[in-house]
Amino acid sequence: MANSALLEDGILDAGLEDAEAKRELARLFDRNFIDLATEADAIRRELHPNDIVTYIVDRNINYTNVCWVACSFCAFYRTKRQEQKGDGYTLSIEQVLQKIQETVDLGGTGILMQGGLHPDIGMEYTTDLIRAIRREFPQVHVHALSPAEIWHLVDKSGLSLEEVLRELKAAGLMSIPGGGAEILTDETRRRISPAKNSTQAWMEVMETWHSLGMKSTATMMFGIDESYEERIEHLLNVRKLQARTGGFTAFIDWVFQPDNTTYLKKHPDFKKASSLDYLKTTAIARIVLDNIPNIQASWVTQPMKTASIALHAGCNDMGSIMIEENVVKEAGAEYHTTEAELRSIIERSGFRPAKRSTLYDRSFEPGISPEDF
Ligand code: SF4
């Protein structure tokens, strides 16, 4: 980072191994929002000098909500027993194809497909599904399967992680989402989702996938009683991996939505992170992750005006129109938009809207040339 007003030279690269550097970085959260936003915005301008804010039209398809992991923060999953009683679902390949047809009819260019870790779903269903999608909709980008789902396939198949990823790639998987990162410190992971994969396991999936020449995103769900130092550790873990592989296209952070979760039942006085906390955390993410090209504003878990402010605090992307979203909706997130509204909000925030692909190719936007980026 050139001439940072807030950070000493070299502190970001020292941060993970040096406890004092990490504490120093955590003190960024004590700075006022304007200082953080100013620095984050300068980095955004350096990376995206033409004031273009991108977005995608795609659909979030959750192929099953049945999951054995039972994360305390998740309002989406159902047990296999609940599924047997009719409260839970697994989509057939035909049902998924139908949803993609609807997506294409609405102008969607990709799907984000994730699901629970269903005890009965393994490689056969998954590769058959991906192959069928690629065969029927070769123009649709398939962005699917977070690291926890991939480890589930490793466990079910007896194959190595690399073998599973190679098979998924051969079936037609094009990129993977960074979901399930939550907070990448084992202390928080043990506290909120003890049965889920470790920090190292999340990183290993990403590193192996990137080593196959493939791309993914990175995420962070925060505001679940973790410390600021843990948020910094999460960001530094992602930064360090990106320095090795260059495989992350974007970083997306959002605030934990507590409604209908066992976490809220166990912590009835829990208070959701504020919009200011979201904005400061996102600006800090832009500052720490200056080696990741794109940062998304989370309008799904924040009021649109907060997302609009985030565009002046480091974000250069408004994420997805998301024709369907089930996971955070179950946990109380309630914001929706249309493509026309999103474009208008981007313009009113002082930027040029551009429709993009899953891998941030802007050729979907008429009148925008590659030099504009
Ligand atoms: S967050 Fe994912 S892994 Fe955890 S219970 Fe929900 S569906 Fe399962």
Looking at residue 292, its pLDDT comes to 98
Residue 322 to residues 6, 15, 109, 182, Cα–Cα distance (Å): 36, 36, 11, 21
Binding-site entries: 67, 71, 73-74, 146, 182, 298, 320
- Extract the runs of DSSP E, i.e. beta strands, from the chain: 52-56, 58-62, 110-114, 141-144, 175-176, 215-222, 248-255, 294-296, 317-320, 352-355
Condensed to tens digits (0 to 9), the pLDDT of residues 326-348 reads: 555 666 666 677 889 899 999 99
Looking at residue 71, its pLDDT comes to 97
**CB of 70 closer than 6 A to ligand 1?**
yes
pLDDT(362) > 80: no
pLDDT(130) > 60: yes
Condensed to tens digits (0 to 9), the pLDDT of residues 213-224 reads: 999 999 999 999
Residues 40, 285: Cα–Cα separation, whole Å: 8
Residue pair 288/223 in contact (Cβ under 8 Å)? The answer is no
Condensed to tens digits (0 to 9), the pLDDT of residues 279-321 reads: 999 999 999 999 999 999 988 888 889 999 999 999 999 998 8
Residues 41, 84: Cα–Cα separation, whole Å: 51
Condensed to tens digits (0 to 9), the pLDDT of residues 57-66 reads: 999 999 999 9
**CB of 209 closer than 6 A to ligand 1?**
no
Condensed to tens digits (0 to 9), the pLDDT of residues 85-113 reads: 999 999 999 999 999 999 998 889 999 99
Binding-site entries for (3R)-3-methyl-D-ornithine: 146, 298, 320
**CB of 145 closer than 6 A to ligand 1?**
no
* CA 178 / ligand 1 centre spacing (Å): 13
| Mean of pLDDT over the chain | 93
**CB of 69 closer than 6 A to ligand 1?**
yes
**CB of 78 closer than 6 A to ligand 1?**
no
Domains of the chain (ranges plus CATH)?
A: 22-358 (3.20.20.70)
